[in-house]
Amino acid sequence: MAALFNERWARSLYLSGMGILVAVLIAIPLGIYQAARRNTLGDQAVTTVAFTTYAMPDFFLYLIAIQVFAISLPIFGFEASQSTSILAVIGDWRDMALPIFCIALLVLAGYSRYMRSSAMETLAQDYIKTARAKGLPERLVLFRHLLRNACLPMITLIGLSIPALLAGNLVAEFVFNYPGLGLLFYNSLSNEDYPVLIAYTLIAAVLTVLGDLLADIALTIADPRIRLS
């Protein structure tokens, strides 16, 4: 059983990790844009897309993406990389781009909403009003005074996402036939392989606790006003 996990955990880490990374890199500027341009046409359009994606079943998005970008328009592969080497998986961008960006889109839908709410709350603070009253350019107000404080809730969200890194993304790995921990769990569930199922669940539980701990530690580093007793 240990051998099964050893040969698959790196692939699940890469898939989920890259999906979360892409989502965070897009969600932060997108949330700030929505907060700064709230109730405009652009904000409403992004909100509509985010709610639609958030409510969409994972497998439905994956199947649509495969149909459009792998079959109708053969830009990407319809199946994730089947290589046993993690370096080969990383280099196989054509087959890995579609599952990574599909996962990123699903994660982005929730992250962008949290970032928008946090940025709107930060914009209402007195130090933002003072910075604007001093005549600072809006770009400096947003990226020097708003960005760091508005990103604090994102640290907690990222910490809660840590279990997905190694526990795998079950639906994505099944649809794209990606040999990671998620597909291992699905096959074990079909075969009633209870030792693997218990080990998988235990890993998810440990990573959940670890994610909470790392999020708390990161918050104390990012915000000196928070102290752990």
- Tens-level pLDDT at each residue, the chain (229 residues): 677 777 788 888 899 889 989 999 999 999 888 888 888 898 899 889 888 888 888 889 999 999 999 999 888 888 888 888 888 888 888 899 999 999 999 888 888 888 888 888 888 888 888 888 888 887 888 887 788 788 888 888 888 887 776 665 788 888 998 988 888 888 888 888 888 888 888 888 888 888 888 888 888 887 777 665 5
Segment holding 116, helix H or strand E: helix 93-123
Q: Is residue 21 part of a domain?
A: yes
Range of the domain at 51: 2-222
Inter-residue contact 185 to 200 (CB < 8 Å): yes
Distance CA 202, CA 216 (A): 22
State the total domains in the chain: 1
Q: Is residue 125 part of a domain?
A: yes
Q: Would the CA dihedral through 147, 153, 154, 156 be positive or negative?
A: positive
Number of residues that make up the chain: 229
Inter-residue contact 183 to 177 (CB < 8 Å): yes
Q: Is residue 228 part of a domain?
A: no
Q: What is the CATH number of the domain that holds 143?
A: 1.10.3720.10
